[in-house]
Amino acid sequence: MKRNLCFLLEYDGSRYDGWQRQAGNDNTIQGKVERVLEKMTGTFQEVHASGRTDAGVHARGQVANVHLETEMTKEEAGRYLNQYLPEDIRVIKTAVVPERFHSRLWAREKTYAYWIDMAPKSPVFQRKYIYTLGESLDVEAMRQAAGALRGTHDFGSFCTGKSKKKSTVRTLSSLEIIPYGTLLEIRVTGDGFLHNMVRILTGTLIEVGQGKREAGSVEGLLEEANRREAGFTAPAKGLFLMNVVYDQEIFCHGEEE
Amino acid sequence: MKRNLCFLLEYDGSRYDGWQRQAGNDNTIQGKVERVLEKMTGTFQEVHASGRTDAGVHARGQVANVHLETEMTKEEAGRYLNQYLPEDIRVIKTAVVPERFHSRLWAREKTYAYWIDMAPKSPVFQRKYIYTLGESLDVEAMRQAAGALRGTHDFGSFCTGKSKKKSTVRTLSSLEIIPYGTLLEIRVTGDGFLHNMVRILTGTLIEVGQGKREAGSVEGLLEEANRREAGFTAPAKGLFLMNVVYDQEIFCHGEEE
């Protein structure tokens, strides 16, 4: 029986070369998932994710779908994946979705979180998932700059490897800076993200927080649409894909065994 | 100026051979802390912890003190330690304590937490800090057994390497089993713990939860005072020293820079 199966995935991206399969490279998350499914069904099928996370980036709520010919239930397929995937990639939930559903094309919004520590040393149990900046930041200035970034803009300054053909206009419905003691979470929701966009937004906001840029200068950056004008690309280790929103709920609430 | 400095420490015990310094072994937490302090002051001083955690056991709230001859403030000493200690050992807070204060001898109660996952695969970001059992447990039966273990008893069945000379009577003021979805936290507070006591208590409670032992059989175990009668020693990776209580508060509330 051929069905379109959908998986809610979490992964610790620390030791991977990102989501996207690469020829001759066995160290991608997509490659690991596809290989287990090939072992399960005997046939290779491409797995589509909501977006490609870069090397070192983590996910708490990546969504991926695949058309599979199998007699297994979705729960059995999820358990099979969990059994054969490494311990740093896990299926949280499974769903059967309409045949035409596509994790990336149907995604309406995505949320990312970026974690910064203003203290010189990070909590040991989260040390691999936080960018340890070790420097106090002016959170109010960062919030003012964040306000200018919310909404619909040309984010051409906030992406690497921009193609001249494709639009760099995106809409950020939310961009918040949330302090927890010495930790800061930058949480951003948008209808789409350009390559490295969250990490460049974060780097730019950090520079505002350090006083290296004026909070009011960010509007000018948007007008420039020039990567060189924006801030540095914050390290991958602090970035998490948190959630992907579709027109309808894909996964039921509650824990799955 | 000679002072008795006290540190609140957290560490990821995964890669260490436990707290206690060992001759010819550079891989203990006590050894790492003492070496940095020796570098700082030029003199070796023994650091006393509230208790020796075993290889692989973690701490969120270990307390350790040391008599130091230094002109540094306590904050400077804490920052120095954090700068030179590896990223998996961190000073959270510092205090100057009375000259006679001793982290172990003055400790009134300690709290440990043990984390078990009943699901076959654990959340990826906590995978190193949870014992992944992969099997459902009867929490009510475990709670009934826990009830029999609370209070003052001879815990001779729940320790390894028991000395005949020393008392194995201890008082557990609290022993709770707290479910969070498929995760279970066993949280235990007592006036003292024998070697491997929390891990053997945990192993015994797991066996009750699996139906391998009757909840009511635990009282008999206490009477036996024989290690062979109790359950297995649960793995170190799920165990955390959470908190040490003294007659007076040692550390001020709030974050320290």
Question: Could you give the percent of chain B with pLDDT greater than 70?
Answer: 98
- Report the gap between the CA of A169 and the closest CA in chain B (Å): 34
For an interface test with B, which of A88, A121, A253 has the most B Cβ atoms less than 10 Å from its Cβ?
A: A121
Flag whether pLDDT at A24 surpasses 60.
yes
| CB contact (8 A) between residue B120 and residue A83 | yes
- Yes or no: say if B142 and B208 are a contact pair by the CB < 8 Å rule: yes
Total residue length of chain A: 257
| CB contact (8 A) between residue A122 and residue B10 | no
pLDDT tens track, chain B, 257 positions = 899 999 999 999 999 999 999 999 889 999 999 999 999 999 999 999 999 999 999 999 999 999 999 999 999 999 999 999 999 999 999 999 999 999 999 999 999 999 999 999 999 999 999 999 999 999 999 999 999 999 999 999 999 987 778 899 999 999 999 999 999 999 999 999 999 999 999 999 999 999 999 999 999 999 888 888 899 999 999 999 999 999 999 998 655 54
pLDDT score at B163: 72
B37's CB contacts (< 8 A; 6+ apart) are B45, B47, B66, B68, B81
Can you tell me the distance from the alpha carbon of A6 to that of A99, in angstroms, rounded to the nearest whole number?
Answer: 11
Residue A253: pLDDT band (50, 70, 90) is low
DSSP B144-201: HHHHHHSEEEE-GGG-SS--SSS--EEEEEEEEEEEETTEEEEEEEES---TTHHHHH
Residue A9 sits at the vertex; the CA angle it makes with A6 and A15, to the nearest 5 degrees, is 140
| CB contact (8 A) between residue B125 and residue A124 | no
Q: Where are the alpha helices (DSSP H) in chain A?
A: 29-41, 74-84, 139-149, 197-209, 218-224
Q: Once rounded to an integer, what is the mean pLDDT over residues A42-53?
A: 96
* CB-CB neighbours of A14 under 10 Å: 14
Q: A79-92, pLDDT tens digit by residue?
A: 999 999 999 999 99
Residue of A nearest to B181 (CA): A255
Give this complex's ipTM: 0.93
* CB-CB neighbours of B183 under 10 Å: 16
**Please, what's the largest Cα pairwise distance for chain B?**
59
Question: Could you give the percent of chain B with pLDDT greater than 90?
Answer: 91
pLDDT score at A257: 43
pLDDT score at A254: 56
Report residue B233 as tokens.
């020693």
Q: A51-77, pLDDT tens digit by residue?
A: 999 999 999 999 999 999 999 999 999
B20-49 in b/e form (b: 16+ CB < 10 A) is: bbeeeeeebbbbbbbebbeebbeeeeebbb
By the 10 Å C-beta count (0-12 exposed, 13-18 middle, 19+ buried), A242 is classed as middle
Distances (CA, A) of A107 to A143, B19, B66, B255: 27, 49, 57, 40
pLDDT score at B252: 80
| CB contact (8 A) between residue A125 and residue B12 | yes
Residue A1: pLDDT band (50, 70, 90) is confident
- Yes or no: say if A85 and A161 are a contact pair by the CB < 8 Å rule: no
pLDDT score at A256: 52
Can you tell me the distance from the alpha carbon of A29 to that of A17, in angstroms, rounded to the nearest whole number?
Answer: 8
Can you tell me the distance from the alpha carbon of A109 to that of A71, in angstroms, rounded to the nearest whole number?
Answer: 32
Phi and psi torsions of B129, nearest 5°: -125, 20
Can you tell me the distance from the alpha carbon of A241 to that of A251, in angstroms, rounded to the nearest whole number?
Answer: 17
Active-site residues of A: which are they? 54
Report the number of secondary-structure helices (H) and strands (E) in chain A. 5, 10
Can you tell me the distance from the alpha carbon of B216 to that of B184, in angstroms, rounded to the nearest whole number?
Answer: 21
